[in-house]
Structure 1
Amino acid sequence: MRLRRIAQLVGPALLGLSLFSPSSSSAAAGPALPQGTQSDDAYATSRAANAVSNVQATSGVLSCYRPEVPYGVDSGPAEGYSGMTPCPASGPTTGEDAGTAGPYASQAGSNPGYPAATPMLVKGHSESDLRIDPTNPAHLIGSSKWVASAEGYNHLLGFFESFDGGHSWPVQGHIPGYEGWTDNTDPVGAFDSWGNYYSLLLPYQFSYDPDGSHDFAPGAAQEPNPAVPSQVISVAVRPHGATTATQWVSTHAGHPDYVASYDSVGNGPDKQWIAIDTNPGSPHPNRIYAMWVDFHSRTAVPYLAYADARPDGTHTDWSTPQVLPEPPGTPQGATYLLPHVAPDGTVYTTLTNSDPAHRFCCDAIFLDASHDGGRTWSTVSTLPGTITPPRASTPTPPSATASRTPSPSAAGR
């Protein structure tokens, strides 16, 4: 994840949604955010002044799982690498299913040589996401990559949970149900109004060539696990009241909870995000909105699907994925979807487009909206395609939020 300086509020803000982007070479409408108002000394003492403390949410216990694809390269001790390590025989554990008794259900049908012969130790974490339970603000669930091999970029997603506002994190482990893929990546989650937590996952397959490089498109028969789709957008739900690491629901209607699935040739699903409508006055309360892009032949195609959450942690069938609209002339398609739901139930998402013909020099950010629970969509605002990203080859992910009152620019709409 990249740190970036948010320097300007750009707009207009439509019906309570404000767009934020990095500083641009051209002026944008909207008031400037104050900069440089805090001295270095004030910043240095702010931690103590505000009683800020750091808590290691993922330390003190052993987390292990059986990877679908073992990776034996050890690049250590350079940069702290140390290879893939078998799970230690003793020590305090998370209580998750480490795969000690045998492969996981999703690993059935794997090709010879897969999965790993034994569970492996989780040795690192990255790309965190943190959510607050609307039924209990002291209940927090975070998620991150659960790394078994940094050298091989080999990981699942894991979670860590607090019941006392972040002072302690007694429950953690990998998110179960999708161990039959090489990786699960890009953590993001959301709570519904009943306190059920939905994790939107991106499980995908790859294998390693003899030189250690990744092979993302070997063809279905040569994939580590031909019994499952190559790449999926999927869901795992932690029901309200769960207290152990294994209490997750990753199936729907008797099969894995797929939102969408793809083969490995010509597709690359990515950048998934989730939002749940917890507004009591909405006509679509507890509707789950899942968004992602598929880099289809290198063009990013933005997609949406939705379902309705139920109090017990189950949900209705996912809608058929639909392509979100884009302004004319978007040369690479659009990515970085960021859905938010306004109090009246209107769903907004930002989308970012980069221009490969001009060496990705500038980004355009636009805004899509749905007023009928995700059934139909339109582009309602477009910012000029002159936003310079921090790095010339990297698109600019915007930030956004939906306010509880309409913005002044929405008056009369």
Structure 2
Amino acid sequence: MGVRTMAGKLTKRSVVLRGAVASMTAAALLAGGTATATPARPPSRLRGPTGDLTGRQRAEWFEGQRHLEMVMRRLAPATALAAPAVRPAAVSDVGTVQHVRRISRDTLPAQGSSEQDTQVEPDVAVDPNNDQIVVAVFQQGRYPDGGSVDPGYATSHDGGVTWKHGNLPKLTKAVGGSFARASDPAVAFGPDGSVYAQTLPFDSNDCRNGIAVQRSDDGGLTFAPPVLAQDDTSCSYFNDKNWIAVDTFASSPHVGRIYSVWDRGDQNGQPIVLKYSDGRGATWSSLINVSGASSQGIGALPLVQPNGDLTVVYDRFSGADTEVAQTSHDGGLTFDPAVVIGQFRGSEPSDMRTGGLPAAAVDPTTGHLFVAWQDTRFRSDGLNDIVLSSSSNGGATWSALAKVNPDAQSKGIDHFTPAVAAYGGFVHVTYRTRAGGSSPSLYVGMRYRGSADEGATWGAELTLGAPSDLTYAAQAGGKFLGDYMGLAASANAVHALWCRSAKPPVSEPYHQTAWTGEVVK
């Protein structure tokens, strides 16, 4: 998605800002200076050369500050904490990797500065009534300054063996819609097998932006035109980093309710907000503030529990940068105060955008919650591990952070952009890996690790497919494989979804496609 810089150019995280941050930080450290991992506090009212900043500009300011924090942490790592010992599980608990394959490729014509033949930021969901039906969504034709030409989807009705793909219709101008671009696709199933694809559409020449939801009634083979859950034309607001979930539990008083959450930048802050639909996405509630009007948050993820409670997990960077959870017991109308899961201590290289956002899941059989993110706390080299915390009491309290990846710091491997899923007491985590050091590798791997006992022990780390070659990756404030990936679990398997860059079949600058793999117990 995009935000406007003070000069008016559309961008999510300004390429200029990110480059300047890396240069200034490196120069300061080489000159004997020090780095701080605490971003500057904004003035109470941010102003640009022509007046008060718009919602988009303010969102960019905060995201730029958060990126600065991550780069600082990479270049000036803190003292490592002792990592808890993790007992490996039996090999029989791991599972087998199957059906690793490309499921789609961007074939939309380039629009202006878009990077043709790029797909990024995928999500995936499995039908709770039929685990053979799997639906994925992703951006297509990424713009370096935010958003994509139009999101696409891919659908399997045989458990991930074969796939059909298409473009979400009537959303952007490229496919007969009204918006210039769209970003941040997410997907969820309803209790009746309906599929809901959610995106963030916006215009590049004015301030219009919103939250769109498109429904499929044939298991994800086709989608209806978008319904706008939110439609803003004022420059005072910008909607960002959305996600969707549906209450599919017959035991819940709110079964069938669809929840859309996102952060909403304005002059007062960047609060987490919510709307819900009891009409299969055709109509939506009024706006509900989850986090407080002046809070600063991003990366909201709604988790519906079997009793109908809703927990929203997000990154709160008001003051200290922490991962927090807020729970509603009345279908999203009101929320308990935020509970801190843990401090975010993730880092990021200057040449790559990794997201640094939380991943979260609920086990539909137990109601237990899981949150993962990239973090440097157990290392002294500034690279990331993947850490995990869980809650067995509806988000009221959270476990101490545990390291998921098995390799030691001496291996020099960076781990980032996790995804997490859970089902039947099994917890599944995927993440990207990259050899770090002063000259990081151009190749980024995909890894999976599973636990049969809710994270107490872990199976061996598995490789998912061939690595990405960053030479041909999309560009968005650095090499960009996406701020998030998809992972969805059922009783018998877990489906991973990621975007992989590789040498194109013909000479062109970009080639990044959607891939899937299945781990079967």
Q: TM-score, normalised by structure 2?
A: 0.48
> CA, structure 1 residues 128+25, in 2 after alignment: closer, same or farther (shift >3 Å)?
farther
| Letter matched to residue 389 of structure 1 | G
CA contact (8 A) 2:139 2:150 kept: yes
Secondary structure of the structure 1 residue equivalent to 2:103: coil
Amino acid of the residue matched to residue 234 of structure 1? A
Q: Deviations over 1:26-63 (max 9, x none)?
A: 989xx95728x59xxx9xxx9xx93534211015xx84
Match of 1:34 in 2: 86
Q: Whole-Å Cα distance in 2 between the matches of residues 152 and 349 of structure 1? A: 25
Task: Decide which structure has the larger Cα Rg and report it.
Answer: 1
Aligned position for 1:193: 191
Q: Distance in 2 between matches of 1:25 and 1:238?
A: 50
CA, structure 1 residues 54+368, in 2 after alignment: closer, same or farther (shift >3 Å)? same
Alignment check: 8 A CA contact 1:279 1:345 kept: yes
SS of the residue corresponding to residue 184 of structure 1 reads strand
In 2, the alpha carbon distance for the partners of 1:290 and 1:161 equals 22
Q: Deviations over 1:306-364 (max 9, x none)?
A: 0125xxxx4452110111134xxx975222111101110000011212257xxxxx412
Q: 4+ runs of 1 displaced by more than 2 Å?
A: 23-28, 31-35, 49-53, 62-65, 148-154, 240-243, 314-317, 391-411
* 1:329-348 superposed matches below 5 A: 333-348=296-311
Q: Which residue of 2 aligns with 1:213?
A: none
CA 1:155–1:380 in 2, change beyond 3 Å: closer, same or farther?
A: same
Q: Give SS of 1:305's match.
A: strand
Which is strand-richer, 1 or 2?
2
**Number of the residue aligned with 1:388:** 345
Distance 1:381 1:278 in 2: 25
Please name the residue that 1:233 is paired with: 211
For 2:194 and 2:85, the matched residues in 1 are separated by 36
State the distance in 2 between where 1:242 and 1:271 align: 23
Is 1:323–2:300 an aligned residue pair? Answer: no
Equivalence map 1:140-159=2 (5 Å): 140-147=134-141, 154-159=148-153
CA contact (8 A) 2:121 2:184 kept: yes
Could you tell me whether the CA contact under 8 Å between 1:325 and 1:378 is conserved in 2?
Answer: no
Q: Which runs of 5+ in 1 are unaligned?
A: 1-22, 74-82, 85-121, 208-217, 220-229, 252-256, 357-361
Q: Does 1:162 align with 2:193?
A: no
Task: Report the CA distance shift for 1:372/1:355 in structure 2 as closer, same or farther (over 3 A).
Answer: closer
Equivalent residue, structure 2, for 1:266: 236
For residues 221-300 of structure 1, the aligned pairs below 5 Å read: 230-241=208-219, 243=221, 247-250=222-225, 257-263=227-233, 265-297=235-267, 299-300=269-270
Shift of 1:148: 7.0
Flag the 1:53–1:323 CA change in 2: closer, same or farther, 3 A. same
| 1:272 shift after superposition | 0.3
Does residue 1:172 correspond to 2:165, yes or no?
Answer: yes
Q: Is 1:370 aligned with 2:343?
A: no
Q: State the match for 2:98 in structure 1.
A: 52
Give the C-alpha shift of residue 381 in structure 1: 1.7
Query: What corresponds to 2:499 in structure 1?
Result: none
The separation in 2 between residues aligned to 1:315 and 1:151, in whole angstroms, is 30
Query: SS of the residue aligned with 2:104?
Result: coil
Q: Deviations over 1:345-391 (max 9, x none)?
A: 000011212257xxxxx41222111111112222252246x432224
Distance 2:79 2:257 in 1: 39
Identity in percent: 22
| Distance in 1 of aligned mates of 2:360 and 2:85 | 15
Distance change in 2, residues 1:160/1:32 (3 Å): same
* 1:222 aligned residue: none
Contact 1:389–1:395, Cα closer than 8 Å, also in 2: no
- Counterpart CA distance in 2 for 1:382 and 1:242 is 37
Q: Are positions 1:405 and 2:380 aligned together?
A: no
Q: Give, in whole Å, the separation in 2 of the partners of 1:302 and 1:152.
A: 21
Q: CA offsets per residue over residues 163-215 of structure 1, 9 Å max, x none?
A: 1111111x2111012122111111101000111100111100104xxxxxxxx
Relative distance call for 1:152 and 1:388 in structure 2 (3 A) is closer
Measure how far apart 1:25 and its partner are: 7.3
Partner of 1:338, secondary structure, is: strand
Does the 8 Å CA contact 1:200/1:233 hold for their aligned counterparts? yes
SS at match of 1:390: coil
Cα separation, 1, equivalents of 2:78 and 2:307: 32
Cα displacement (A) at 1:131: 0.9
Number of residue pairs aligned between Structure 1 and Structure 2:
287
Q: 1:306 to 1:24 in 2, by over 3 A?
A: farther
- What is the match of residue 210 of structure 1? none
Q: Decide whether aligned partners of structure 1 residues 133 and 410 sit closer, same or farther in structure 2, where only a CA change above 3 A counts.
A: closer
